[in-house]
Amino acid sequence: MSKLSLTLAEQAIIDNIDGQHQDMLSTVELWSSQNSGSRNRNGLDDMRALLKDRFVALPGEIDDVPLADGEFVSNSGEVKAVEYAPALKVTVRPKAPIQLILTGHYDTVFPEDFHFQKPVRVDEDTINGPGTADMKAGLMVMLTALEALEKFDNAKNIGYNILMSPDEEIGSPGSAPLLAELGKRSHVGLTYEPALADGSMAGARKGSGNFSLIIRGRAAHAGREHHLGRNAIAAMAEFISGIEALNGKRDGVTFNIAKIDGGGASNIVPELAIGRFNVRMKETSDVAWIEQNLESLIKNLDAKDGIHAHLHGGFTRPPKPMSPANAQIFDWVKQAGGLLGQEIKWAPSGGVCEGNNLWASGCPNVDTLGVRGGHIHSDREYMIISSLVERARLSAVILMKLASGEFDAIAAKKLAQSV
């Protein structure tokens, strides 16, 4: 195989990205200033409108895609329907021989009443702001790279769908079917979650499940008739001790209790407790072990007089291994980085993202093509400003090499299907 190099035309297209630095940064600041917490429907709608204003420049169709309603457990213990904001989908050249899926999310973890709402320049190369790294800047990197691709003569060989989802930060419950559908019919996936500050990318990823346990007991006067009550919070404490004891029992499996709701006045035996928790696992085979242990703990609770426990939720993202097909995509990224003087490294991650969903659909992918940054999911979240251009250049090279056939997307898909 001949050594990979850049043609004069490719180099000119990549170099043109350098002059877009200020526009990219200003756009990220604008997007960061728009709250789009996963539960803030008005904010999500406003954010989607901002994205449409920019992504409409691509030569394809842009559409809002309604998502099916989901369910959530309210603080009163009721399972209620939830309506998700639409996803935003862009479709370009759907009949081209090579089909890609590019994904990102426009929601953040920060609700509209959280104190962290505006970006602030920390220094010449650092900006602190909600969604700057995770992942509004990633969407800007994606768009810039695709605009560069459209200047390339071989762009006609590639068709692509872009899916920007409103619910990634809550596990993609509404957009998961779309990810599965688009991944199934795409040869390669590119996702724009942030890289680490040093540029390292996520390789193999764990799988994840989100659950809510509803425990109902019996209310009673805490002094006069304590013996008649059945304490739901005490039962929840027993369950929490049980799942905490499971940590360390199976390699790579972790249980994290994240939030407890329930109870009321201190002179009433609490009749309701709701525990919300997350489970991570390395292998698909871990699921049966997890389910067996959860079932055992819940069965023990149900055996108590006056206590009833109901588990709601499930596994939302399966593990994503460093399979031969995924390793092939990472090798392409490494080669592309080498052409630009960028050292590309990766390591396993306990985090999950849409890349897990794409792999489950049979689509080999790389999922940390976004900017360099850190402290995501906190008010210390930051982005390294120079990485906007840096990572856009990287993606532009990857896209052009896919279009030229030097990176064989069809062969990568076949390799994934052979697993």
112 and 43 Cβ atoms separated by less than 8 Å: yes
In a domain, 2, yes or no: no
Q: Are residues 262 and 193 in the same domain?
A: no
Helix (H) or strand (E) holding 286: helix 286-302
CA–CA separation, 392 and 406 (whole Å): 19
The domain boundary, picked from 291, 317, 343, lies at 317
Expressed as residue numbers, the domain containing 276 is 207-317
CA–CA separation, 92 and 156 (whole Å): 10
CA–CA separation, 203 and 205 (whole Å): 6
Q: Are residues 200 and 213 in the same domain?
A: no
Q: Are residues 105 and 196 in the same domain?
A: yes
Q: Are residues 362 and 312 in the same domain?
A: no
Q: Are residues 289 and 174 in the same domain?
A: no
CA–CA separation, 366 and 336 (whole Å): 13
**192: closest CA among 160, 164, 151?**
164
pLDDT string in tens for the chain (419-residue length): 458 999 999 999 999 999 999 999 999 999 999 999 999 999 999 999 999 999 999 999 999 999 999 998 999 999 999 999 999 999 999 999 999 999 999 999 999 999 999 999 999 999 999 999 999 999 999 999 999 999 999 999 999 999 999 999 999 999 999 999 999 999 999 999 999 999 999 999 999 999 999 999 999 999 999 999 999 999 999 999 999 999 999 999 999 999 999 999 999 999 999 999 999 999 999 999 999 999 999 999 999 999 999 999 999 899 999 999 999 999 999 999 999 999 999 988 888 999 999 999 999 999 999 999 999 999 999 999 999 999 999 999 999 999 999 999 999 999 999 87
DSSP assigned state of 221: B
Q: Are residues 162 and 35 in the same domain?
A: yes
Give the CATH number of the domain where residue 232 resides.
3.30.70.360
In a domain, 276, yes or no: yes
